[in-house]
Chain A
Amino acid sequence: MTTKMFGAPVQRTEDLRLLVGNGRYLDDLGEGAYEAAFVRSPHARARITGIDVTGALDVDGLIAIYTYEDLAGRVAEPLPLLIPHPALTHGRTAYPLAKEFVNHVGEAVVMVVATDRYLAEDACERITVEYEALPPVVGIENAFRADRLVHDDVPGNCAAHLVQEVGDAPAAIAAAPNRLELKLDIERSACMPMEGRGVYARWDAADESLRVYTSTQTSTGVRAAVAAKLDLPLDRVECVTPDVGGGFGVKIVHPWPEEILIPWAARLLDHEVKWTEDRREHFISAAHERGQLQTVRVGFDDDGRLLGLDVEILHDNGAYTPYGIIVPIITSTQLLGPYKPGAYRVDFRSLYTNTVIVTPYRGAGRPQGVFAMERAMDAIADHLGKDRTEVRAVNFIQPDEMPYDHGLLFQDGRPLIYDSGDFPGSLDALKKLVGWDEFEAYRAQARAEGRRVGIGVACYVEGTGVGPYEGGHVQVETTGKVVVATGLTSQGQGHQTVFAQIVADELGVPIEDVTVTTGDTRRFPYAVGTFASRAAVMSGNAIALAARNVKAKALRIAGEALEADPRDLEIVDGHVRVKGSPGASVALGTVAVLSNPLRYAFDEASKAATQLTGKADFSKPPVAEDDEPGLEGRDYYSPPTATFANGMHAVIVETDPDTAEIRILRYCVVHDCGHLINPMIVEGQVHGGVAQGVGGALYERMEYDEHGQLVNASFMDFLMPYASEVPKIEIDHLETPSPLNPLGIKGAGEAGVIPAAAVFASAIEDAEGFPITRMPIQPSELFHLRKRFAAGEIPALRRGADHAAGTHR
């Protein structure tokens, strides 16, 4: 009897390679390839007045040096603006190598190719670029004030201005019995995968074809971009994604300048070329996210019910907008969370600064949105003297109101309609898990010991599994082994395992017999990519549908062989058999042989199949008109709208009265992403997200000085948490299935990180007794907030005086 794989904590098949050093990441490939390094701008804004490469020409092992002047054809054009939007009226993208101007520290100016990276860096050091430094625009306020412009032809530094409205929020707020305004600030962080970016290209001159390996979240996207830029037919370009050492969003951006330049150079030099990004390059020339200033105005009744919500967002998009305005659009729509906002108006401006570009980082605008909404919920509760969970509960969309249409357009341009969710159930589970109702007793006890503690809560809804589509291909080989391919890529999510679980169940085969390939355009050319918590939903369902096609075909062929009605057949443990009569069966591998009329006997399965050949009907062709040879199936899944997962976090912190250090005592998560394919993997995703949330709330920030220099561009000063900084994470699951897809699943990839900034602000505020409006927060800042609070510069929370005021020893 085959055990059901869907829902089981199956150990990952990937790990057998990865644990013994047999992973193949980008830089593990291409031994013997030339290596590239870049001269990058040391200025945030400057005009290039001269480039002198003579000093580098003597460097041993130098192969080539390229500047903008050397680029030709479409490679010399600006990089594509990947996701246009009507509101993005002033989109700007960079050139692969800077043309006359540089707009952030780290922008590539010269590419050097040498026999190895050491020598390439030597050559870079000996190239002199002369700049006329120009005053940069750094910081959102400066960008908004627009005393100086990043791009001369972009007035107000404003790339995009978008307003979405449901009802008349300003009027609703004006008429409300209670009103509040909050000014909130979130700083930049970054995905910061342990493996940086990297590209390796092989040009085959005889075949006039190109194979590009890249550490990407979308191989099909890179393939199309490279083909277009290098003016190659699509069928002459293959893009293969090797093992990827983490992505978290930054590797969905494409094409990166290097993804064009490396293949271009490989063709030009007729030699393999590789570029492996180093850590400093990753800090200054990849992408960041999160930086936003947000103003929230709310009007609410005496129960805390929202009557009107008006949010203004200033979004820092960095120097260019290759990825469009996805991040602020997500903030605008997802900040609504599990709540009914009453009348709603959201207005964002996406602003240029002379800093690294901003593109989605795990959570993608949601952490900022949740910060806005949850800070507002806490403020409302405090204003009314109510329990924070009570105020949230009165605003929840109820399970019987699903599907719930917000009347807005989501990131995919489709209606924002929640498919399912049980928010009251989630909150109950969270309160139980963290002991919400017992906390005041704990606080009193801690206070008696001279300790200062606080509890926080934050809720979110996450649109996951956005379209437009993914596909799957499932093929049964004559050995009975099943090979599966889907086009999207993997960066550690365990796709090879979970997709195998789905196929094993759908097809009735042992999971060991299923092999999954992702992110290889040779195997599956149509795909979108791995982002937006979409892989399981999109490819999982596509693969399930493809497997169902294969199953139907297998049953039909086996039915002919066994002279049985396919409806009476089942597949168990890789054998098609007559239900209730296990004796009459045929191995799936044999069915695969039967599916192909050209039946050379290479193996036992083929020989066995010849025994089953029925009487030939010479009036029909060997392959029927509506049939194809082979036991394989391909299908696509394309949902009408995204599916919406949700979750609620609570944290208990202790703040040191003397040193302002913030210690995490407990971190609790209630998570609902529909049916769990592999609970072990889902929990792993939540863990990782929470750790990044802890980083984003308490440790990580991109620190730019007024000259636009990123002063902490190293792991010494950009503080990603170690194990010592991440608390034990307690998780409870709800499983509210999605009605939108055959498997009833929702995405889980980003969930953990989304409410972290909000939940920490909530808890620290609760411990301290004054509002927390800026994240991340470090002890030094908390120390200064306390001083300002003591000096009366910051108002106390209404409940503040009650429990938190000065317990200085």
Chain B
Amino acid sequence: MTETQIPTEQRLDIRLSVNGVPHTTTVTPRRLLSDCLRHDLGLTGTHVGCEHGVCGACTVRVDGKPMRACLMFAVSAQGHEITTVEGLAEPDGTMHPVQQAFRECHGLQCGFCTPGFLTVVSAFLEENPTPTEEEAREAVSGNLCRCTGYQNIVKSVLRAAEITEERKGCAHAEGDAR
């Protein structure tokens, strides 16, 4: 039986910027970013489905790029801007085009995997605003969903691209009016 002394675990004060809001908290170095967001900062929209990087439910955006929050330590996230599902909507509560599209297209059922899809797709559409169906499917092919069979998720990606375009149109129209 192991009788080795258990060393006192290191604790670090960290500063994280999440959805534009600075947070300070104290974590052990092994604290996964997913757990820190959920349990230390109370942002439970990021979900944990496998903790080995395969399912994608925990995906957040780090400096805009989607990454697995279960495969990052919270300490390593310092100095980077993190966006979670809670940070996708406009400050006035208007849903992000991707969120609106998922609703219109019934792109979610139980909703557990959804935050990971939303963060991935929001980033994807910034890179590729007018994807083909094939590209849309490829874009979501690193995230597991057990409910939807992906049909309406792929549809949602394409619809989100349309909504983004429509909103741009509206913004232009408003601009013209002024």
Contact = CB atoms under 8 A, between A and B. Distances in A.
Contacts of B31: 118
Contacts of A25: 44, 47, 112
B54 A716 contact: yes
B84 interface: yes
Interface string B105-126: 0101111111100100000000
Contacts of A52: 1
Interface stretch (A201-209, A395-403, A491-499): A491-499
Contacts of A16: 103
Interface in B15-49: 28, 30-31, 38-39, 42-49
A598 interface: no
Nearest to B84: A21
Contacts of B103: 11-12, 15-16, 19
B104 interface: yes
B44 A28 contact: yes
A54 B111 contact: no
B52 A714 contact: yes
Contacts of A23: 45, 111-112
Nearest to A119: B9
Given A691-B149, A726-B150, A59 B99 contact: no
B101 to A, nearest CB: 10
Interface stretch (B134-142, B161-169, B170-178): B134-142
Interface stretch (A79-87, A192-200, A415-423): A192-200
Interface in A1-42: 11-12, 14-16, 18-25, 27-28, 31
B28 A118 contact: yes
A691 B30 CA distance: 36
Contacts of A245: 47, 49, 110-113
B45 to A, nearest CB: 2
Interface in A193-243: 193-195, 243
B20 to A, nearest CB: 15
B106 A723 contact: no
B83 to A, nearest CB: 11
Given A194-B57, A195-B49, A246 B150 contact: no
Given A194-B112, A245-B110, A715-B55, A24 B47 contact: no
A14 B111 contact: yes
B87 to A, nearest CB: 9
Contacts of A59: 6
B85 to A, nearest CB: 4
A720 B144 contact: yes
A349 interface: no
A20 B51 contact: no
Contacts of B114: 18-19
Contacts of B110: 193-195, 243-246, 491-492
A684 B145 CA distance: 12
B137 A723 contact: yes
A726 B149 contact: yes
Interface string A751-763: 0100000000000
A246 B149 CA distance: 13
A386 to B, nearest CB: 33
Nearest to A714: B52
Interface string B79-110: 00000111011000001000100111010111
A715 B43 contact: no
Interface string A781-797: 00000000000000000
A246 B88 contact: no
Given A21-B85, A243-B111, A128 B149 contact: no
B77 interface: no
A262 interface: no
Contacts of B10: none
A192 B146 contact: yes
Interface residues of A, number: 63
Interface residues of B, number: 63
Interface string A442-472: 0000000000000000000000000000000
A724 interface: yes
A245 B144 CA distance: 13
B130 interface: no
B147 interface: yes
Of A54, A715, A722, most buried by chain B (CB within 10 Å of CB) is A722
B108 A246 contact: no
A33 to B, nearest CB: 10
Contacts of B143: 722-723
Contacts of B5: 58
B6 A492 contact: no
B111 A20 contact: no
A710 to B, nearest CB: 15
A20 B112 contact: no
A20 B50 contact: no
B13 to A, nearest CB: 18
B108 to A, nearest CB: 6
A435 interface: no
Given A722-B143, A729-B149, A19 B47 contact: no
Contacts of A21: 43-46, 84-86, 115
A60 B10 CA distance: 12
Interface in A240-287: 243-246, 248, 278-279
Contacts of A494: 109
A763 B65 CA distance: 41
B43 A194 contact: no
27 contacts: A11-B103, A16-B103, A19-B95, A21-B45, A24-B44, A25-B112, A27-B48, A28-B44, A31-B39, A52-B1, A60-B6, A122-B6, A192-B146, A194-B146, A195-B112, A245-B113, A279-B49, A681-B106, A684-B151, A687-B149, A687-B150, A688-B147, A692-B149, A715-B55, A722-B150, A723-B145, A729-B151
Query: What are the 9 tightest A-B residue pairs by CB atom distance, in nearest-first order?
Result: A21-B45, A492-B110, A245-B112, A18-B111, A691-B149, A687-B149, A492-B109, A715-B54, A28-B44
Interface of A: 11-12, 14-16, 18-25, 27-28, 31, 52, 54-55, 58-60, 118, 122, 126, 128, 192-195, 243-246, 248, 278-279, 491-494, 680-681, 683-684, 686-692, 714-716, 720, 722-724, 726, 728-729, 752
Given A248-B146, A715-B50, A724-B137, 12 more contacts: A15-B111, A20-B45, A20-B85, A20-B99, A31-B39, A60-B9, A194-B47, A194-B110, A245-B112, A492-B108, A691-B148, A720-B146
